[in-house]
Amino acid sequence: MACGVVLVVGSGRDGVIRAIRTELLRRKIETGFVDEDDAGAYAVEGRRSNARTVSFDVKGGDCVGHRPVMGIFLRHTHPSIRGAPMDVDALARLQLGVDAAADAAGCPVVNRPRAAVSNYSKFGQVVLLARAGFSVPRTLVTSIPEEARTFLERHGGRAILKGASNVPTLASLIDRRWVSRLRLVRNCPVLLQEYIPGDDVRVHVIGETTVATRLASRDEDYRRALRRDPTAVTVEPTTVSASLRSLAVRVTRRLGLIVAGLDFKRTREGRLVCLELNPYPQFTFYERAGGQVITRKVVDLLLAPRPRRSVVFA
Amino acid sequence: MADLLDELAGRDPAREFIVVGADRLSYAETRARVRQLAKGLLRLGVKRGDKARPLPPRVNLERTSWLTATLSMRRTVRMVLLIGGWDDPLLRGVATCLAKMKRPTTRLSGTGLSAHTPFAVTTDGRRLRGFVRVKRRVIDLSEISGILLTSTGPWRPRPDVSVDDQAFVFHETLAVWWGILAGLPARVLGPHHVSSWFHDPNYVRALATDLARALHLRDATAESAAPGTAAPAGSRGAVLFVVGDRLIPVTPSATRFLSRITPRRRALRRWQSTQRVYFARLEFGGNDGGEIRRLDLSGSLDGVPASVRAAVAREAARWLAA
């Protein structure tokens, strides 16, 4: 791609960012990398090109601020998921600048930050997914212990407890032994969902295509099982119905995203119940463990179609 | 009376309330029956102003039903929940208008919302059901016709508890309320106040971009987000308020923009219902008057003439009570 660069923004230690950069390098595509681990070393400057257009120059590292950007891959890091202390103010400034540039860019952006807001509220997302046509689990949000207990009893003494926002939390299967601890929900609202036994299915939407992966684990959250033992989860390609694939693509597009990771539970009857939609999916794990091609398809999306002129330069 | 029943049922749900012969109902049982019947009446189309009353009982056995039916009639007048501080001019104005309309209201402070207001909301994917307890009163979400959410003030963490823990609780609470307001069948003015707590300018920019597209205007809102860019040149901006389904001009020049928007009114309504934006302050500009410069979802009334403030409050109250 001689006419421009692909801008990659995120932490240099993030496996997804590394995979995208490696694939771009393999294809000999010029890349501008903004390493958020060193946020203070980068700057985004806006300038008025003419009465109607504002352009953005991304500078720092290998970004020189004058090569037109033809595709942007974004996966922001968060101060809370870093071990080392970081300049939080510099990171916030950089991310705001990059987001403004990404939202203004006419080129493909995976994903535009403005399209990812549904992720803020898991409860809101359940409502949204249900309205879109997905089957969803019965869900309760509450700060009243008695209501949490009643929900637990109503669902056979078992329920899934997880955080209500975009802050990463691991889902826990709770049962009647947890009843006394439910008094703590007075201090912080929780999200409880009916427990659906069965395998997890992750469906990645990449543009118009989908990649489905089955995950079988003894733990209710396979991510916890993986932390204990990387071999404790069976990961393999699977298939989902054409109607569900098409619905997943439609919902992703309607939200303004071009890549998404949808989490499902497959019930004993084979029905897929949608749990949530991730606008910034960690797809390299599924690719590696399930032997499926995802990174290449994402890079394909970043490279085409090319806009006539760019407003972002790196 | 219906409000008193709520309060008593919240305080002592098992206590006997109605005793007619062998027929006995506790506060909680009466409240449940009253709500069920009120919902049925609402579904039948009974609304405020309709003349209806239960037939007087002829035998003792009917008396409990008659009492619950009488209370249910009161319940068919749905309330407006006001969330925010009395210092907010919009909230004050709307509360005054609703009082004139004899419409029941309950106020919940913004900090109360973000701290320890007990609530339980459940969904099975089709319907959203639940309640919130405000000052010992249990408010069923189905009884709310509208919610006004105004500025909530800054977050003030307690000094005796870990700030990180408090920040997490704050974030989780806002996430829950954002989801509830998005899914609620009631009319909500200002739900985006919750999203503004997330400090995400991308969200407002996205709404502005969609609006510009719907109205066939240029989106100049991104320019303010571009670091280092000067204010856009051109004519002085025109300001108008979007309140419910009405547009209220603030500056005299806004009338010109109103005529520009009028042919696209249907597209504007579609944008409003998709994005659930029923309260906003819009600034237009550009030499040809064809650009949106600012979308302010907080709908600040700062610098707005008193007559426009009154019109905005009146319109907001009308829309919430409808």
- Interface mutation target, options A53, A146, A151, A188, chain B, most CBs of B under 10 Å: A188
Give the nearest partner residue to B229 out of A48, A138, A143, using CB atoms.
Answer: A48
pLDDT band at B234 (very low <50, low <70, confident <90, very high): very low
Tell me: the pLDDT tens digits for B100-149? 998 889 888 766 565 578 889 999 887 888 988 877 778 888 888 899 98
Name the average pLDDT for chain B: 78
Give chain B positions within 8 Å (CB) of A188. Answer: 168-169, 172-173
Chain A residues within 8 A of B172 when measuring between CB atoms: 163-165, 167, 188-190
Residues B179-188 have a mean pLDDT of 84
- Cβ atoms within 10 Å, residue B173: 24
Say whether residue A136 is in contact with chain B using an 8 A CB cutoff.
yes
pTM for the structure as a whole: 0.78
Contacts of A190 in chain B (CB under 8 A): 172
Confidence at residue A137, expressed as pLDDT on a 0 to 100 scale: 96
Confidence of residue B202 (pLDDT cuts 50, 70, 90): low
> For B5-9, B232-236, B307-311, which range has the lowest pLDDT when averaged over its residues?
B232-236
pLDDT at B154: 64
Q: 3-class DSSP state for residue A113?
A: helix
The stretches in chain A having pLDDT less than 50 are 1-2
Distance from CA of B89 to the nearest CA of A (A): 29
User: Are A182 and A148 spatial neighbours (Cβ–Cβ below 8 Å)?
Assistant: yes
- Our CA-based measurement puts residue B130 at a distance from the nearest CA of chain A, in whole angstroms, of 9
Contact between B205 and B213 under an 8 Å Cβ cutoff? The reply is: no
Max Cα separation, chain B? 80
Residues of B whose CB is below 8 A from A112: 202, 206
Q: Output the pLDDT for position B201.
A: 63
CA-nearest of B121, B176, B178 to B147 is B178
Contacts made by residues A98-101, CB under 8 angstroms, sequence distance 24+: A98/A9, A98/A34, A98/A44, A98/A58, A98/A74, A99/B201, A99/B202, A100/A44, A100/A46, A100/A56, A100/B201, A100/B202, A100/B205, A100/B222, A100/B225, A100/B226, A100/B227, A101/A44, A101/A56, A101/A58, A101/A72, A101/A311, A101/A312
Partner residue opposite A130 with nearest CB, options B118, B125, B171: B125
- CB B223 to CB A48 under 8 A? yes
* Residue range B236-251: mean pLDDT, rounded: 85
CB contact under 8 A, B123 and A127: yes
Q: Which residue has the higher pLDDT, B134 or B192?
A: B134
Highest mean pLDDT among A183-197, B142-156, B172-186, B274-288 belongs to A183-197
Taking the Cβ of residue A51 and every Cβ of chain B, the question of whether any pair is shorter than 8 Å is answered with yes
Residues of A in contact with B217 (CB under 8 A): none
Q: Is the pLDDT of residue B244 over 50?
A: yes
Q: How far apart are CA A279 and CA A256, in angstroms?
A: 10
Better pLDDT: B295 or B49: B295
Mean pLDDT of B303-319: 92
- Candidates A51, A103, A130; nearest CB to B233: A51
Chain B residues touching residue A52 (CB < 8 angstroms): 218, 220
Instruction: Say whether B120 and A147 touch across the interface (CB within 8 A).
Output: yes
